[in-house]
Amino acid sequence: MKLMFASDIHGNEYFCNKLKEIFEEEEPHKLILLGDLLYNKSILSFGRNNERLKTAGILNDLMEDIIAVRGNCDTDLDQELLYFPIMSDYKKLNCDGYEFFITHGHLYNKYHLPPSNKKVILIHGHTHIPCIENTKEYLYLNPGSISDPREGNPNTYMIYEDKQFIIKDINRKEFKRINLDESY
């Protein structure tokens, strides 16, 4: 199974279109969105709500392929604009014998791990910083932000395929990688 992860679009129509383009090129089975989909303080403060609506339209075009969780900026208004559910704080996904705990990162993160009796594969956004961190207690993966990267990082997303997570920039260049068979 091939999965694509993206986070923190924040209502940016340009980068949401890039995400759609990448999704169509990568051809994953599912697009997993890790929250903060439509809210953008600068768009709202200047009355440019139209970009938010256009971003919602782009995502709605992909609704059959999307699994999403709620970000700290996602609201009931955002849910009203989107045709797929976004208000769950987390989802669990079993893939290739591994359990992925998928969340935004503001409630569960490497400092506040979800309850589990085994090593957690924690996947979240929120920080806008791409990361692969493997410890005894957890494997933490963050695809970074597709539209608003931080700390000098590129705009990124993440692919899971053949027991590997690969973080790529929007030019499809590999940024970071981990192989679960070798590292987990």
Q: Supply the pLDDT for residue 31.
A: 98
Instruction: Spell out the per-residue pLDDT of the chain, length 184, in tens.
Output: 999 999 999 999 999 999 999 999 999 999 999 999 998 765 544 445 588 899 999 999 999 999 999 999 999 999 999 999 999 999 999 999 999 999 999 999 999 999 888 888 999 999 999 999 999 889 999 999 999 999 999 999 999 999 999 999 999 999 999 999 988 7
Full-prediction pTM beyond 0.75? Answer: yes
CA–CA gap between residue 72 and residue 151 (Å, rounded): 20
CA–CA gap between residue 76 and residue 21 (Å, rounded): 27
Q: Supply the pLDDT for residue 42.
A: 55
Q: Supply the pLDDT for residue 48.
A: 53
Domain map (residue ranges) of the chain = 3-183
Q: Supply the pLDDT for residue 149.
A: 96
Q: Supply the pLDDT for residue 123.
A: 98
| Domain 3-183: assigned CATH number | 3.60.21.10
3-state SS track over the chain: CCEEEECCCCCCHHHHHHHHHHHHHHCCCEEEECCCCCCCHHHHHCCCHHHHHHHHHHHHHCHHHEEECCCCCCCHHHHHHCCCCCCCCEEEEEECCEEEEEECCCCCECCECCCCCCCEEEEECCCCCEEEEECCCEEEEEECCCCCCCCCCCCEEEEEECCEEEEEECCCCEEEEEEHHHHC
